[in-house]
Amino acid sequence: MKPNIFVERLKEYPLSSHKAWEIKNKKDVLKLDWNESNLLLPEKVKKKLIEFIKKGPTFWYPDVYNRTLIKEIAKYLKISPSCIQYFEGSDSALDYVVRTFLKQKDGVAILSPTYDNFRVYVEAIGAKINYIFGKDIFSADIKNLLKNLSHKTKLLYLCNPNNPTGAFYSKEEIEKILKSFPKTILLVDEAYAEFTQKTVVSLVKKYDNLIVSRSFSKAFGLASFRFGYLVSAPENISYINKIRNGKNISAIAQIAALHILRNKKYMEKYVEEIKRAKAMTVKNLREMGFSVIETPANFILIKTNNPSDFCKKLEKQKIFVRNLSHLPFLKNYIRITIWSSDSMKRFIQKLKKINERKNCTL
């Protein structure tokens, strides 16, 4: 049997190494390859999860429209609950947007290089992609972006701040895009918004062509629970709800998301810790001779002559980072997730030992 022709031709999204999962003692692992947090769950959240597992009802399907949770997200964002819907991770949310609003041959613009998984959803339905590259991929370039957009473009995908380059567009620049192209859906991926403490969600009140995706996998530390959500005009949410399967968002994920929001100061302290750890890490790497790209999010980039060899040497030390050489204009670049200061000190110490043995090529 054969899949549809678009899936048959599809280039897979390249996953990071699975080797970290094969190591028995996970405490020894520095998993700095997928921008996950190393934030442990607050005790209050753990208690709520244990309480549910003990008392249930674990034999029911999950709440397909958890109004309490949506109201908590709305309170967090200061926006109407009618503008919000949650999904099994923001990846799933992005896929739902594609399947709801796009069809074969529709024009899609992607500000690149960026999170490559979105490209998979678009190509799988046969839509046509126009990749937009700035003159400097590490900085926002609104003039170049507007110049390369067309009024025939059905959707523009913009990760903000961008993963992996860190380029960040201001609220004013986002609004300029919305005004200039009112018939183009602007999908802003704010997976890292908690680190910038800046968002454009309030603009959904003014522009019905804006959709914002958010994640609990980064600053909130719930990557293994899979929970994300969309913010948009109520009518857009109602369209997406037609194909959304609410049973896919587990009760466990909903409980974790609800109670982590009710303990959001825990997350906010972690964000501040990441800022300190990032500054310390960047300083040490530059002193070691590395060229470093610092981003507003929980990751940085460094450049090496042999990224594959570099990653292999780190893996032997149970350190996992992300080789970005498969992306345009990012040959020889490596992305490193920032964890708390203690973890990053371990990373620096091990990297220095590798350098002392002259095994690490800058």
The string of DSSP codes covering 61-110 is PPPSS-HHHHHHHHHHHTS-GGGEEEESSHHHHHHHHHHHH--TT-EEEE
Nearest to 230 by CA among 129, 82, 108, 111: 82
pLDDT digits (tens, 9 = 90+) for 70-99: 999 999 999 999 999 999 999 999 999 999
pLDDT digits (tens, 9 = 90+) for 30-48: 999 999 999 999 999 999 9
Residue 350 has pLDDT above 50, yes or no: yes
Place of tokens 């020889």: 332
Tokens representing 175 are 């609004």
How far apart, in whole angstroms, are the C-alpha atoms of residue 276 and residue 298?
11
Q: How many other CB atoms sit within 10 Å of the CB of residue 102?
A: 19
Stated pTM of the model: 0.94
Q: Are 94 and 228 in contact (CB under 8 A)?
A: no
pLDDT value for 28: 87
Residue 114 has pLDDT above 70, yes or no: yes
pLDDT value for 359: 45
Nearest to 225 by CA among 13, 41, 42: 41
pLDDT digits (tens, 9 = 90+) for 196-207: 999 999 999 999
Identify the burial level of 269 via C-beta atoms within 10 angstroms of its C-beta, where 0-12 means exposed, 13-18 middle and 19 or more buried: exposed
Q: Are 14 and 120 in contact (CB under 8 A)?
A: no
- Mean pLDDT, rounded, of the chain: 94
Q: Walk me through the domains of the chain, giving residue ranges and CATH numbers.
A: 5-41+265-355 (3.90.1150.10), 43-263 (3.40.640.10)
